[in-house]
Amino acid sequence: MNSAMTRTLCRMLIVLMAWMPFQVAQAGIISTDQAVASAQSDRAAVLNLVSRSDVASKLQSLGVDTAIAMDRVAAMTDEEIRSLAGKLDAVPAGGDGVVVLILVGVILWLVLWRK
């Protein structure tokens, strides 16, 4: 029984290896100008988001000054900016507004009332 099961498993693995496509990774060299331009465009996208009127009013309602938020964004590393910009691109436009409000409310409740 063990031998039959082993043969079946091996056959299944062989078929799956032949059937599933292999992805080939390609690496390339990018110039310094391209890397700097990418970092600058990501930083500009995050700064534009912080400077929007609806985001600025939400920051004000949470007690954060817009100028301080922009200074903090300017002080972020390129890695942090790239991560944040990637998350901004992944969020659907206006799709998760209720979820974000609930999440902010839960976080504020945990921080303020659970002390």
Helices (H) and strands (E) in the chain, counts: 6, 0
Number of domains in the chain: 1
Identify whether 69 is part of a domain. yes
Identify whether 38 is part of a domain. yes
Identify whether 60 is part of a domain. yes
Identify whether 110 is part of a domain. no
State the DSSP string of 45-65. HHHHHHHSHHHHHHHHHTT--
pLDDT in tens, the chain (115 residues): 578 888 888 888 888 777 776 666 777 888 888 877 788 888 888 888 878 888 788 878 888 788 888 888 788 888 888 887 777 766 666 555 666 666 566 666 656 665 5
Residues of the domain holding 43: 33-90
The length of the chain is 115
Identify whether 111 is part of a domain. no
Identify whether 97 is part of a domain. no
Q: What is the pTM of this model?
A: 0.50
| pLDDT value of residue 93 | 62
| pLDDT value of residue 63 | 83
Identify whether 68 is part of a domain. yes
